[in-house]
Structure 1
């Protein structure tokens, strides 16, 4: 009797684990489908809203289709991809995307680390200061871009020119003379609080006994930060860089509202240039090809960055 009960329990355990055997094969399939069934609607929804549009974009990228010339719709295979890589404007937009993304993420992370170290200390009014520093990240990108282009960088009545005029510096039309710098300033202002929150979480998660041991050993503030705190923050810094890069590379609002990609296309990044080609130039084929290239490049870079992060997690867990 005991043996029969044990065999039955083993069969049901194998079935629950998804291991079919002679007597529990049908039950295993039913159990697997029962567990997966609640996830099917989400899977179908994800495929419908992401993969089908992407496949259609690939199809459009293989055709020479301009809405201003309806009779030009024909299959050209990879000609659109060859044309966009030979297009100097596309290369310039790609360079601007890299410059804006790396510049914003790097500067925002440096400022975020500095502010997180300050907020990790106890002082009167820390909660108020923390709330004020977080506020820029809660503002909508369109409102942030309008704030910087109208209230801060306007050549006639902007706050930045008013401050510089107090020391005798003449007014500067920032968005016209320095469009990329103007966009970077607005993006850094918005993304610094995000980096600060991640680093602050890492600072508050580090074990206090390690810091006390470093102090007992006579390590100064800089050595403690460089050899104890900074390695502890590596996961949080890598995560902040990855998430920030994924979002900043898709920047559109600031460019559209602050510079409109100008002068000319001097400050246009890939998302904005794709918008120009699709909705202003009505070139569906080439804009679709640009979109496919941008998506593939983003996926490759994000996958590489995720592998580095997971590798660092696995290395630290092994230690």
Structure 2
């Protein structure tokens, strides 16, 4: 009895010969790889520089966070593992600084976004001198943070000759030492003044990208100004609102200048945020190990929030494209 089955070796040989790439295919693959590298080569120096500037210091920060390193006692340096992380989470001042960071960031971002939205709606209308008004409203964002902090600390909130106390004195209110009695409020006000133009520019770009025919159709159908804003303009601005909140939160959470120059983290540590408290532990307390651990925790928390916000933004973009 005969069989028609091929030997296993023959089958394997046939499979091998059928999957083996031909010489023209190999040449095409090599050509595609060479073309890809020719496109990437000009970007490689910038990528290498970015890695050296950002990732190498971060890796060193992680290394220092695993060691007990105090500049006043260099002979006592040793590897302590995750002990620094446990110590900072048990530190009540660190928890207070983390809470202050959240309050300052969200307070500034939300208020600046609402004010920026209102200003953007006003500037989206045509009126005489709109270019001059737009330039003046952008000016606070162009001022350096140090100059802005000094402006609010000395010219506005000074208890003796500040402009705010002069204004409230006109209605019979006694002077207030704003940066001492209301440090968090003072810092948030100064940050809102600086970041409102940034929000305004983003939202104004979103308003000017809106299709005018949809607004005209809503007006013809008898929709009121509020209905047009709620059902047409606001959904269109969703991406720009989310982007402004994300970028504003990333920048504001790193605030250092205003706290250092306006309140110095005080009274005590009542207005200290994470960057300022890290500065205190590193450059005033010389505790490199714990300050590095705080820096790592701050970076990881910021990245986590940024990734979450980016996912929401990309989800809204995909939903808009599908619709």
TM-score by length of 2: 0.91
Q: Which residue of 2 aligns with 1:187?
A: 191
State the shift of 1:246 in Å.
0.4
Number of residue pairs matched? 301
Q: Given the alignment of the two structures, is residue 58 of structure 1 paired with residue 52 of structure 2, yes or no?
A: no
Say which SS state the counterpart of residue 176 (structure 2) adopts. Answer: coil
Aligned equivalent of 1:48, options 13, 34, 52: 52
Which region of structure 1 is more displaced relative to structure 2, 245-254 or 121-130? 121-130
Say which SS state the counterpart of residue 131 (structure 1) adopts. Answer: helix
Matches within 5 A, 1:126-145: 126-145=130-149
Which region of structure 1 is more displaced relative to structure 2, 79-88 or 198-207? 198-207
Matches within 5 A, 1:284-303: 284-303=288-307
Which region of structure 1 is more displaced relative to structure 2, 76-85 or 119-128? 119-128
Say which SS state the counterpart of residue 54 (structure 1) adopts. Answer: helix
TM-score by length of 1: 0.92
Paired with 1:37 and 1:203, the residues of 2 have a C-alpha distance of: 39
Q: Given the alignment of the two structures, is residue 306 of structure 1 paired with residue 310 of structure 2, yes or no?
A: yes
Deviation by residue 1:233-290 (Cα, 9 ceiling, x = unmatched): 1111111111100000000000000001111110000001000000000000000000
Say which SS state the counterpart of residue 69 (structure 2) adopts. Answer: strand
Q: Which residue of 1 aligns with 2:15?
A: none
Aligned equivalent of 1:253, options 238, 257, 280: 257
Q: Which residue of 1 aligns with 2:13?
A: none
Say which SS state the counterpart of residue 215 (structure 1) adopts. Answer: helix
Paired with 1:270 and 1:72, the residues of 2 have a C-alpha distance of: 26
Unaligned runs of 5+ in 2: 1-23
Which region of structure 1 is more displaced relative to structure 2, 123-132 or 244-253? 123-132
Q: Which has the higher Rg, Structure 1 or Structure 2?
A: 2
Which region of structure 1 is more displaced relative to structure 2, 28-37 or 45-54? 28-37
Q: Given the alignment of the two structures, is residue 35 of structure 1 paired with residue 18 of structure 2, yes or no?
A: no
Q: Which residue of 2 aligns with 1:120?
A: 124
Say which SS state the counterpart of residue 123 (structure 1) adopts. Answer: coil
CA RMSD, aligned part only?
1.3
Q: Which residue of 1 aligns with 2:275?
A: 271
Say which SS state the counterpart of residue 77 (structure 2) adopts. Answer: strand
Unaligned runs of 5+ in 1: 1-19
State the shift of 1:180 in Å.
0.4
Matches within 5 A, 1:161-172: 161-172=165-176
Segments of 4+ moved more than 4 angstroms: none
Say which SS state the counterpart of residue 84 (structure 2) adopts. Answer: helix
Paired with 1:214 and 1:34, the residues of 2 have a C-alpha distance of: 52
Matches within 5 A, 1:59-98: 59-98=63-102
Paired with 1:318 and 1:270, the residues of 2 have a C-alpha distance of: 41
State the shift of 1:41 in Å.
0.6
Paired with 1:234 and 1:133, the residues of 2 have a C-alpha distance of: 23
